[in-house]
A and B are shown apart, each in its own frame.
Chain A
Amino acid sequence: MTTQVVDRTTAVRLEAVSKVYGHGGNGLLALDKVSLSVRPGEFVCLLGASGCGKSTLLSLVAGLDRPTQGEISTAGRQVAMMFQEPALFPWLTVSANVEMAFRADNLAKRERRIRAGEFLEMVHLGGFGKKRPHELSGGMRQRVALARALAQSSSSSSSSSSEGGAVLLMDEPFGALDAMTRDLLHDELERIWREQALSVLFVTHNVREAVRLGDRVVLLSSRPGSVVEEFPVELARPRRTDSAEVAGLAATITDRLKEEVLRHGH
């Protein structure tokens, strides 16, 4: 690849980003002058009420949609995304779905299959490579999507294009999982994030999950979405979701979140 100019201080930067859906009088202001940045290797969690524009924000960062106003930059980094729905291709097997993440790499087919298998092991779906997505449960499909996103963000093309690791966007990735599986996947995600020096933007409704994972928790207001407050999380890792420190900070953030929701509750 050509020498990319890599910004060493920010991996993702949003500057006064606004997004309007629709036109004219009946346009809907989904995001209002959101400014936010993620440092390389930082894990940022986004919290906010339903409909406040979290998914909108992620798709803007992923380049799936354009902001109405403002600037977005991912500094030439590879951007992987895990959607709120699994978004798997029904015509491919589970393994082939994950292999799609290596399309850009010059890997032999066998090599791709083996690497896909490794990522499936990671989400505890090692034996399911030959199945079709519709044969899995909802939670299992989410795990396949996670495997695909992780595979993409650690694929060789992403680590060679810039010294900083890839950007990983995750939209409520663990919403459909039981608590035990979720804890295990938190550990896996944390491990890969460290190893690959990923910059993560993680959307969740679960305040404890946000505190468990994030270096920073960003609270969004609703209608229109804008940043209300940021909470740095200075607890030592590894953290546990059920520890007192996590619960304590989660309670503080929950109170602030309630205030925000009530303000809009009329």
Chain B
Amino acid sequence: MAVDTHARQLAGLDALELAGEQRAGVASRAWARLWPMLTAVALVLVAWELVVLSGRWPEYVFAGPITTFQDLGHRLGDPEFYQAVATTMRRAVTGFALAMLVGLIVGAAVSRVKVLRAAFGALITGLQTMPSIAWFPFAILLFGLTESAITFVVILGAAPSIANGLITGVDYTPPLLLRAGHVLGFRRLQLYRHVILPASLPSFLAGLKQGWAFAWRSLMAGELLVIIAYQSSLGEQLAISRELSDSPGLIGTMIVILVIGIVIDMLFEAADSALRRRWGLNPV
């Protein structure tokens, strides 16, 4: 009974502690993260304007921030812009989803089967270091100037990182948890499902994040090289702006590409920190 009150007191303390942590300034924490970013953006804009002002390049070759953002503002009111973004994002999501599927299957197989690991382990790491743009000539030869060529290269760019993330996670499953799973009666597939896969989640997530970065790069390269008629995309807009010497349009599109990349990276970051919080992996 003494222990019961003891436990209840502990529970109370625990609840207090958790509530306090959540209350304490969502706003101030957001601001703490935001101001360094805003400062950095301001610095870049100033540097950009200074370079333009230096007169090294004429304004129609290297547009300043003001012209560029005005131009971007106009395009944000144009449905064609959203079509271009939608096309690019559709390709990105499809390619990435397929890469995830391939990465999962290959990663799971290679981490489970010794022979496969001996055979393909080094190859996967090798593929990871291969610049994906080097695949394009081959992809175009195989698929022609089609979307399949782009998807093919996006998958090849992202899947090795995803597979490697999974393999690393499986390799670094804490032995103690494996032993605990074994004692609980899990064998082979069951052990895989209840212990090894969950334990490798953080590493898998890191692989996904890296895979996304590769997918996004491959996609941009692909859209520059493989231009499909009547289908507007971000990469295609870059190419057209260059041909028309439309400097504000070119820089504006680059900014859009950068922002999309940053936003998606932040999503992965958020998923990662949510996972760390749940597992109690946060550094002090």
Interface residues of chain A, those whose CB is within 8 Å of chain B, are 59, 62-64, 79-81, 83, 85, 87-91, 100-101, 103-104, 124-128, 131-135, 137, 140, 148, 152, 180-181, 184
Contacts and interface: CB of A to CB of B under 8 A. Distances in A.
B176 interface: yes
17 contacts: A83-B176, A83-B180, A87-B177, A87-B180, A91-B198, A100-B184, A103-B190, A103-B194, A124-B4, A124-B6, A125-B7, A131-B14, A148-B184, A152-B183, A152-B184, A180-B2, A181-B6
Interface in B1-52: 2-4, 6-8, 10-11, 14, 18
Contact of A135 (B14, B177, B184, B185): B14
Interface of B: 2-4, 6-8, 10-11, 14, 18, 176-177, 179-180, 182-186, 190, 194-195, 198-199, 201, 278-281
B21 to A, nearest CB: 11
Contacts of A88: 180
- In order of increasing CB-CB distance, the 10 nearest A-B pairs are A134-B280, A87-B180, A90-B279, A81-B183, A91-B198, A124-B3, A127-B11, A87-B176, A124-B7, A64-B179
A186 to B, nearest CB: 13
A135 B10 CA distance: 11
Contacts of A184: 3
Contacts of B14: 131, 135
B278 A89 contact: no
B280 A90 contact: yes
B199 to A, nearest CB: 8
B3 A59 contact: no
A167 to B, nearest CB: 11
Given A85-B176, A180-B2, A101 B279 contact: no
A64 B279 contact: no
B280 A104 contact: no
Contacts of A79: 183
A150 to B, nearest CB: 13
A133 B180 CA distance: 15
A143 to B, nearest CB: 10
B279 A134 contact: yes
Nearest to B178: A64
Contacts of A104: 185
A89 B281 CA distance: 13
Q: Residue among A87, A88, A137 with the most chain B CB within 10 A?
A: A87
Nearest to A131: B14
A202 B4 CA distance: 26
A132 B176 contact: no
Nearest to A104: B185
Q: Residue among B3, B184, B201 with the most chain A CB within 10 A?
A: B184
